Amino acid sequence: MLPAIAGGLISGATGLVGGIFGNRQQANIANAQLAAQADQLKQGILFQRDAAKANMGLGIFGQVFGSTTAPDLEFGRQTAAQRLQFGEFIPKQLGLGREEARWQAAFENSADMKEKSRRERVGRLQESIATLRATPTGMFGRIAQAPIESLMV
């Protein structure tokens, strides 16, 4: 009977020691998983911080490039395109533009154009007065009219 009791005690002790080592192994696995999750979270935060800094830098670069270098480059491109378009006729084209502007100014300052402009202003004034009169007329009835010519400047 003694060997059976000794065998049982040995078996129990072995199971107890094995259980302790098994629990320890599970705890180590859980700790490793937690450490991996914490490392992943840390790396994510660092990546977001770096991405935010990169976006800020790109925004600053875009503002500086857009306000200084890009307009200069575009002006150079437009100048080269105009030179290719007109070639040797640039002075003649500029002269025609000046002559056309002079004729346009003379046309706009003519008596006929001034009279047309005055008629348009009177028409706009009549329309605005009619609109302003229509609202209270609809609510309160007809209102006495004032002469429009007295309002002209």
**One-letter-per-residue 3-state SS of 32-77:** HHHHHHHHHHHHHHHHHHHHHHHHHHHHHHHHHHHHHHHHHHHHHH
Amino acid of residue 87: G
| Cβ neighbourhood burial of 122 (10 Å; 0-12, 13-18, 19+) | middle
Q: What is the pLDDT of residue 3?
A: 63
Amino acid of residue 49: R
Whole-number CA gyration radius for the chain: 46
Nearest in space to 118 (alpha carbons), one of 89, 84, 149? 149
Q: What is the pLDDT of residue 119?
A: 93
pTM over the 0.75 mark: no
Q: Which of 3-12, 16-25, 115-124 has the lowest mean pLDDT?
A: 3-12
Tell me the C-alpha to C-alpha distance, in Å, between residue 113 and each of 4, 100, 124.
128, 17, 16
Q: Give the torsion through C-alpha atoms of 33, 39, 43, 49, to 10 deg.
A: 120
pLDDT tens for 82-94 read 777 776 666 666 6
Nearest in space to 96 (alpha carbons), one of 104, 87, 84, 107? 104
Q: Which of 24-38, 57-71, 102-116, 119-133 has the lowest mean pLDDT?
A: 57-71
What residues does each domain of the chain span? Answer: 2-133
Q: Does residue 151 contact residue 132 with C-beta atoms inside 8 Å?
A: no
